[in-house]
Amino acid sequence: MKILILGDIVGRPGRNAVANQLSHLREEYKPDLVIVNGENASAGRGLTEKNAKELFELDIDVITTGNHVWDKKEILTYIESYPQLIRPANYPDPCPGKGYTIIHKGETTIGVINLSGVVYLSNLTNPFHTIDKILHEISKQCNIIILDFHAEATSEKLAMGYYCDGRISLVYGTHTHVQTADKRILNGGTGYITDIGMTGPLDGILGVDKDIIIQQMQNNRPARYDLAQGPVQINGIITEINEETGKCQSLDNFIRIIEE
C-alpha cells in the first residue's frame, strides 16, 4: 500500500497549495491513502470546521493535529462529528475527539495514531505509555499502523521511533515545520523520519512573516503573527508498506516549491 503524507498545512497559502497540487501528487505517486496534518490550517493556528470540510472534500483520508488543536475553540463542538480528524491521544481524559482512527481500504485495515511529545511542550500523559495502550487495543485488527508524533525534541522523536520499531509500520514527526534528512527503515521494519516539514509559505519563519519573528527575537515583546507572502512549499513523504507484514518497504521525502 502506498501512502502520501503532507506536513503541517499553514493557513490559506497551505490550504490553497493542497487544493491545487494534490491531484498532481496523486498522479505522480498514485497513493492508496492520503494523510495531512491540519493543526495550523486556519490562519496559521488551529482548524475551523469550514476548513476541515474543505480538506476532506479533497478526498483526504485522515487529518492529524498537534499542540494547536484547540486554538479554534469551535473544534470542541465539532471534532466528535469527524472520526477521521484526530487529536493527540495523550490529552488527559475526559477529552473531546479521539487520538486514533481506523481506515478500511479494500481488505486492508489501517490504524492512524496521533501523539504529542512532552519535551518543551505541554505536560500531557506520557506518550510512550499511551502508545502501548493504543497498540494493545488495535494491533490485532490492523494490517498497517502509522503514527504522527507531533513533538519538538529530536531526541524524543528518535526515542519513539526506536520504541515502536517492529510494532508499527511508520513513525513520522511533525511540529517543527522543517523537513529532516534522516529518513530510514529501522531494523524491525518501521519507517522513520524525524520531521516531514510543512505545507505553506516558503519565504518566512515556520510560515510566519520573517520580519515579525526577527523583530520579536530582538526585542522580546509580543507580536501579532501574520503569514508570509510569496512562494509556497509542499513538504511530505511517500511510503510503501507491505499489507501482509505491516513492514515499511520504502520511504521517500519530497519538497515542492510553487511560485505564486
Distances from the Cα of 243 to the Cαs of 2, 101, 142, 162, 184, in angstroms?
A: 10, 18, 10, 21, 19
In whole angstroms, give the CA distance from residue 9 to residue 79. 18
In whole angstroms, give the CA distance from residue 3 to residue 237. 8
In whole angstroms, give the CA distance from residue 197 to residue 105. 26
Annotated ligand binding at 235? The verdict is no
Evaluated on CA atoms 19, 69, 193, 198, the torsion sign reads: positive
3-class state of residue 134 by DSSP = helix
In whole angstroms, give the CA distance from residue 182 to residue 193. 6
Q: Is 104 a catalytic residue?
A: no
Annotated ligand binding at 175? The verdict is yes
**Beta-strand pair 170-174/204-205:** unpaired
Distances from the Cα of 189 to the Cαs of 32, 72, 184, 185, 251, in angstroms?
A: 20, 38, 10, 6, 11
Taking alpha carbons only, the member of 98, 168, 163 closest to residue 126 is: 163
Annotated ligand binding at 104? The verdict is no
Of 24, 68, 129, 136, the active-site residue reads: 68
Residues assigned a catalytic role: 68
Which residue numbers belong to the known binding site for Fe cation?
A: 8, 39-40, 67, 150, 175, 177
Which residue numbers belong to the known binding site?
A: 8, 39-40, 67, 150, 175, 177
